[in-house]
Amino acid sequence: MEDYGAFSDYIVIQALEDGVTIIGLTRGRDTKFHHTERLDAGEIYIAQFTEVTSAMKIRGKARIYTKHGVVEADNKQQG
């Protein structure tokens, strides 16, 4: 069995509206987008940080559950 160490942390993202976007960002010298998911209201996405994924960007109204607690994102555009 492999030891994933720091890469074993999971987060759960719950979309609170249609069109929530999750963007995975790469690890390394140049940070790049490598994966995108789109969720509708009520959908749940379980994600894990890995050797490739160092960060995630979340757009839209969502609730994020981590081992550190719960955070809500609400990216409303200014008009």
What digits encode the pLDDT tens for the residues 13-69? 999 999 999 998 888 787 787 889 999 999 999 988 777 778 888 999 999 999 999
DSSP three-state, residue 67: coil
pTM for the model: 0.77
Q: Which residues contact 25 (CB under 8 A, 6 or more apart)?
A: 31, 32, 33, 34, 53, 54, 55, 56, 57
Q: What is the pLDDT of residue 7?
A: 55
Residue 78 falls within a domain, yes or no?
no
CATH code, domain carrying 45:
2.60.40.50
DSSP three-state, residue 5: helix
Residue 29 falls within a domain, yes or no?
yes
Query: On the CB side of 65, how many CA atoms lie within 13 Å of its CA?
Result: 7
**Count of domains observed in the chain:** 1
Q: What domain range includes position 11?
A: 5-73
Residue 60 falls within a domain, yes or no?
yes
